[in-house]
Chains A and B, each alone.
Chain A
Amino acid sequence: MDKLLEVRSLSKSFGGLLAVDHIGFHVDEGETLGLIGPNGAGKTTNFNMIMGELSQDSGEIFFQGEEVSKYPTHERVKKGIARTYQVPRPFGETTVRENIRVGMMPDSILQMLTMKVSTEREREIAESVGLGVDELAKYPSELSMGDLRKLELARTIASEPKLLLLDEVFAGLTTAEIAQLSTLIEEQKKNGLSYIVVSHDLKALAPLVDRVVAISFGAVIAEGSFEEVIASQKVQTAYLGQ
């Protein structure tokens, strides 16, 4: 399989704290990679750097063979990388439908001014993540945490990504909502979407991932199948201490 995303020797410091330490990993096309590690391991910092929301101190990020560090966030999204946030960040002043519309919007002022709103496509995207027609006119403040996560998923899917970075996608969800979201992730994967999933909920993560990378103090400490990584002494020490 071809590498969809490859991170080479990426580093980031905040003052005297080395948050990401020459990290390297990759995701193949059609693959779901789990990125695990204790709090403060650098998982979200990696996502921020891959998206261009944070610039790396050193290292390279290749997407489909092209070095993308030079591109701003919106250009990386156009190339096919999208993300969700640990805490959902909906556009609170607009409806669910309009939130999805922002994800679908062309990046051209002229096209924004003349675009015909495809309500049918908006409904399709909402339904693909399990949001019903009734939810489309609601405001984010009226949604449960589960529906907010679905909305964020819908908005990212609307930008037609090839790789989706899911940050703590199961946090705050009930068991039933986790099962529903996992099914949605699997369904989108069948459509060709690849993932990097960050989650503390290892039980929810296990059936989704093809491979896992474990990090601690910003560096890779184990890599392999879910079972191999979980069995690793380094991972157990990182999570549980000595």
Chain B
Amino acid sequence: MANFLAIFAMSWDALSGRTGYISFGHPFLIGIAGYTTAMLTYHLGVPLYLSIPAAVVVTMIGGTLFFLPALRIRGTYFALVTLAFMEIMYHLTQVIAPKVTGGTRGLSGLPEMVSGAVPNYYLTCSVMLLIGIGLWSLIRTGLGTALSAIGVDEEAVKSSGLNTNRIKLFIFTISAMVAGIGGALYVHYLGSIAPRALFDINFLFSILVAALVGGAGTIVGPIIGAYFLTFLLEYLRPYIPGAGRFVLYGVITLVVYYFAPKGLYSIFSSLRQRLSGKAGTG
């Protein structure tokens, strides 16, 4: 689960971490991918090696829909519009052709990618690391600098001669692609899909918290955040069963965020700088 949360958090981070366009609708993108591959395999028997790429492409198209409000609005307004995308998708899956989407109960008995927990872990971990390396390389280019600049002052970026709409469309599509890969693999990992599990505010908050606690805008941070939160929840399980551990989970998250507002990644990078500084002077 940590690997999937990391993929979703990196997808969110690519779009929102630097640009200041805060997405509250990432489950919408993840859901498009999940439902596309689920319906293709369940109803038409399409093999996974075709249904997953198809789901990613459809999600990238969905990403352009997501981009449209970003042409005119940003900040809180953009966040709320993207949240609406998620809610609309939640209701559509139940109202429009419930026989195809499975309605409220969703679809189950979907084919798995590989069987067994260990092979699944290695597969998802490899995909997560590949995505991480790809996105990390991307933000270290001039594009990463431009994205950071857009996050601070989009008008001043335009005044520097850059077409910010083109940059935003590109990063929205990349973010959607990553969400698509994660979403498609996720439903075949679970073997089922249900609207309430995907288009859910708690699912959204897990993604946001993983990215923010890990360190937004860094790509590496969301991986750290996803692993930290997943392990935290699982380690708390034997001691505080039931929903009680979510309270502690929230408190620990707040404490981390209070002492390291730029995320866990900033703690690691300042430690590394201190160590390398000492090594340099020593």
Contacts and interface: CB of A to CB of B under 8 A. Distances in A.
A205 to B, nearest CB: 23
Interface string A132-146: 000000000000000
A109 B160 contact: no
B146 A102 contact: yes
B145 to A, nearest CB: 5
Interface in B106-158: 138, 141-143, 145-146, 148-149, 151-153, 155-158
B146 A112 contact: yes
Interface stretch (B44-52, B83-91, B162-170, B240-248): B162-170
A231 interface: no
B151 A93 contact: yes
A159 B143 contact: no
A153 B110 CA distance: 59
Interface stretch (A28-36, A37-45, A72-80, A194-202): A72-80
A55 B151 CA distance: 24
B281 interface: no
A159 B148 CA distance: 18
A65 interface: no
A107 B145 contact: no
Contacts of B142: 101, 105-106, 111-113, 115, 117
Nearest to A85: B156
B269 interface: no
A74 B168 CA distance: 14
Interface in A212-230: none
A163 interface: no
A91 B145 CA distance: 10
Interface in A102-128: 102-103, 105-107, 109, 111-115, 117
A229 B50 CA distance: 74
Instruction: Name which of B157, B162, B170 has the most chain A CB atoms within 10 A of its CB.
Output: B162
Given A101-B142, A109-B167, A113-B143, 5 more contacts: A85-B156, A89-B156, A93-B18, A94-B149, A156-B160
Interface of A: 51, 53, 72-74, 77-78, 82-83, 85, 89-94, 98-99, 101-103, 105-107, 109, 111-115, 117, 155-156, 158-159
18 contacts: A51-B159, A53-B158, A73-B155, A73-B159, A74-B159, A74-B161, A74-B164, A89-B153, A90-B152, A91-B148, A101-B145, A102-B149, A105-B161, A109-B166, A111-B142, A113-B143, A158-B160, A159-B161
Interface of B: 18, 138, 141-143, 145-146, 148-149, 151-153, 155-164, 166-167, 170
